Amino acid sequence: MRNSVLILILFLVFASSVYILSCSSEPQPTLSELMRERESDLKLLKAAIENDELIDLPEFVPFIDGIPSRENLETDSFRAELAAFDIYYSTLSQQEAETIKDRYTAVVQFCITCHQRHCPGPIRAIRNLEFEPVDEPGLILFD
């Protein structure tokens, strides 16, 4: 009898600790939060590339783990795009001076292509991540 009370108490302690631990875990980030975070990570990377430095990519949560704000961002095809982007982005963690600029440029192009179709609002801000565009032909800078 005493044993079974003890077992019951132990079980309750175990069950409540599982409950408490599961509730205090980190909340899942939204897709927008992850995108903003990535934007500032890429700014750091861009500055490093411009200074001919190689830096480690800051740790990141894949886009596929972000919670989207609307239902039409939960389709299989949109999720496949996010997953493809995640793979693309992770290529930036293998830093090699000769190819880093091209890989960086390809990642930023991917950001822009997806935004043109699904979320045009931030495109101007994303374009700031591109390397300086070449002067437009015919543009007169000095008289």
- Provide the binding-site residues for ligand HEC, judged by CB under 6 A: 31-32, 35-36, 38-39, 42, 68-70, 73, 81-82, 85, 110-111, 114-115, 118-119, 122, 125-126
Nearer to ligand HEC, 99 or 128 (CB): 128
Nearer to ligand HEC, 35 or 48 (CB): 35
- Least Cα distance to 42 among 131, 119, 113 occurs for 131
Q: Are 34 and 61 in contact (CB under 8 A)?
A: yes
Q: State the alpha helices, DSSP H only, in 24-137.
A: 31-50, 76-90, 97-118, 123-127
Minimum CB–partner distance for residue 72 and ligand HEC (Å): 9
Nearer to ligand HEC, 17 or 75 (CB): 75
- Measure the CA–CA gap between 92 and 70, rounded to whole angstroms: 29
